[in-house]
Amino acid sequence: MSQAIMDEGKKYFTFLAGGELFAVEVDCLVEIIKPEQLKKTRKGRNIAGTLVFRGSKLAVVDIGKKFYSEPVRSAHNTCVIVVTSHDITAGLLVDSASDVIELKNSDIRPPIDRRTGVATEYIQAFAVVKDKLIIILDCGSLLFSEKDYITKNHKRY
């Protein structure tokens, strides 16, 4: 097998939260929306609130609270990234959306015990591109960790 085939890339969607650059596989990404209709809730310690998305009530996980104990501050670039994995769909409230990038297998490193503030069970891998560290999240683990609240609040309208 040629090196080019073995080093085939995957596409990732990148975003900023808590001053760090994160990524999720593009296959997990459903849509990027503004949090204008976000209904705040006090339930779920990492939940920013809920909003109606495509006729369903969608729980929104605050990435700032989840990883850094500081909620994402509402600003012009703040957005909700709607992601899905293993039949669980939720929003991720982040500081700003960035780009879709392609990472080759050779760019990706396995998770290490590093002080990123992010619990390692949510990290799929790391990559360094143009001197920037990218934390690649495991969408399935991230959503599953909030599954009880997400599924309890999933309603069709």
> What CATH number is attached to the domain comprising 101?
2.40.50.180
Query: Is the whole model's pTM more than 0.75, yes or no?
Result: yes
The confidence band for 157, taking pLDDT boundaries of 50, 70 and 90, is very low
CB 18 within 8 A of CB 116: no
**Total domains present in the chain:** 1
Residue 106 lies in a domain: yes
Task: Give the C-alpha separation, 48 to 70, whole Å.
Answer: 11
- Reading the block at residue 142, the tokens are 């991230």
CB 153 within 8 A of CB 59: yes
Residue 116 has pLDDT above 60, yes or no: no
43 CB-near residues (< 8 Å, 6+ apart): 149
- DSSP labels, 100-111: EEEEEGGGEE--
Q: What is the pLDDT of residue 137?
A: 94
Residue 110 lies in a domain: yes
Lowest mean pLDDT among 77-81, 95-99, 115-119: 115-119
Residue 157 lies in a domain: no
Higher per-residue confidence, 157 vs 18: 18
DSSP annotation of 69 reads S
Q: Which DSSP helix (H) or strand (E) runs through 99?
A: strand 96-104
Give the range of the structural domain holding residue 62, as residue numbers without chain letter.
3-152
Higher per-residue confidence, 76 vs 120: 76
Residue 35 lies in a domain: yes
